[in-house]
Chain A
């Protein structure tokens, strides 16, 4: 019974995550259908990948590359993997916290299941609970993750359904909504950083990556798929340099 109660507590804690996920998931669903793919393609992506930024990037690249050839597939996948490497950080924190709990290390099957649902938002809420001195239990995490997952997959299905009934000229406007979504997500990153110290590396990373991509694409004439992973890596390296500089010198306050 205690396990069910913990799961439900997790589910309730997922409500703020779910309200954030649904509109993004709806947008993703609409975009997938707008690219010429089907409702099931959208739902499948959300159900197995369960990584918002990656899925939106993938559909953006898929649409931009106009049909997917072998190299295009590799480019999308490499970019997605690079973007998702950061899950290593979040998972290692959660894994350590779980193992340090009173019940000790959960079974491998339970850990493997908890791992599937780790996202930035799940990590934030879990960290918040841990910071309040609550012990993280697997059942709580599974409830939290299930709530987030259901909202993500459900929102995608809703969006894809909407996308199929939207008139054509509205779909044209949706292409631009994709970039509005990217801009909003980027601003959200800056906001979440809070103080200037943590925001500077992010701003550096974003502007460097954007400048590098413009250089690669418009000046050097590289293809979108090969330029993107390089630009992203250049940006992250610049962010790393900025973060290290701030860490070492203590500037800027």
Chain B
């Protein structure tokens, strides 16, 4: 089973993403992009992640549980822990926290 509206989103995302990937291969004479544009683009993923985390991380679940989960994940990743361990730890902490809060 597929969800038509989700497929529309995916196809549109693919089109834009593929264009960004392929244009430099199709028109190799376009010389390297201006440094100012590069500096802007370099910050885009970090900016996106910042806006994805706040405020939504703290509005859905009990804030104390959410804050713990996000902080632990951030600190572990900063110290070089693998993503598998982080996600599993997050699920365990979130599940225990939510279960405790339900009492």
Say whether B94 contacts A184, CB under 8 Å. Answer: no
In the complex, which residues 38-55 of chain B have their Cβ closer than 8 Å to any Cβ of chain A? Answer: 38-55
Minimum CB–CB distance from A206 to chain B (whole Å) comes to: 3
Is A29 an interface position by the 8 A CB rule?
Answer: no
In the bound complex, what is the Cα–Cα distance between A57 and B55 (angstroms)?
A: 14
Given A179-B57, A187-B74, A224-B56, CB of A236 within 8 Å of CB of B90: no
Q: Which residues from B are CB-within-8-Å of A50? A: 17
Within the complex, what minimum Cβ distance (angstroms) separates B71 from chain A? 8
**A54-B52 Cα distance, complex, nearest whole Å:** 11
Name the B residues within 8 Å of A235 (CB-CB): 43, 46-48, 50-51
Q: Are A189 and B49 in contact (CB under 8 A)?
A: yes
Report chain A residues within 8 Å CB of B65. 176
Count of chain A to chain B residue pairs whose CB atoms are closer than 8 Å in the complex: 321
B residues contacting the other copy or chain, number (CB 8 A):
75
| Chain A positions 134-160 with a Cβ under 8 Å from a chain B Cβ | none
Q: Report yes or no: B22 in contact with A179, Cβ–Cβ below 8 A.
A: no
Contact of A53 among B3, B45, B77, B95 (CB under 8 A): B45
> Pick the contact of A170 from B76, B90, B91 — CB < 8 Å?
B91
Complex CA gap A37/B9 in Å reads: 13
Identity of the chain B residue whose Cβ is nearest the Cβ of A92 in the assembled complex: B24
C-alpha gap A32/B100 in the complex (Å): 26
Q: Known: A49-B13, A210-B54. Is A87-B21 also a contact (CB below 8 A)?
A: yes
Q: How far is the CB of B15 from chain A (nearest CB, A)?
A: 9
On whether A239 and B46 interact (CB within 8 A), knowing A96-B32, A177-B94, A210-B53, the answer reads yes
A186 to B78, CA, bound (A): 9
Number of interface residues of A (CB under 8 A): 106
Asked if A180 meets B52 with Cβ closer than 8 Å, knowing A86-B42, A89-B38, A112-B25, the reply is no
Residue of A nearest to B30 (CB): A92
Nearest-Cβ distance from residue A42 to partner chain B, whole angstroms = 9
Q: A227 vs B50: C-alpha distance in the bound complex, in angstroms?
A: 13
Q: Does A128 contact B (CB under 8 A)?
A: no
Are A49's CB and B44's CB within 8 A?
A: no
Q: Nearest-CB distance from B5 to chain A (Å)?
A: 5
Q: Could you mark each residue 75-86 of chain B with 1 if its beta carbon is under 8 Å from any beta carbon of chain A, else 0? A: 111101011101
B17 near A54 with CB under 8 A, answer: yes
Q: Is A99 an interface residue (CB 8 A)?
A: yes
Q: Which of B6-25 contact A (CB under 8 A)?
A: 6-14, 16-18, 20-25
Which residues of B have CB within 8 Å of A58? 9-10, 13
Q: Is the CB of A177 within 8 A of B16?
A: no
- Neighbouring B residues of A92 by C-beta, 8 Å: 24, 30, 32-33
Q: Are B47 and A95 in contact (CB under 8 A)?
A: no
Q: How near does chain B come to A234, taking the closest CB pair, in angstroms?
A: 8
**Other CB < 8 Å A-B pairs besides A180-B94, A187-B75, 4 of them?**
A49-B10, A89-B38, A206-B46, A236-B43
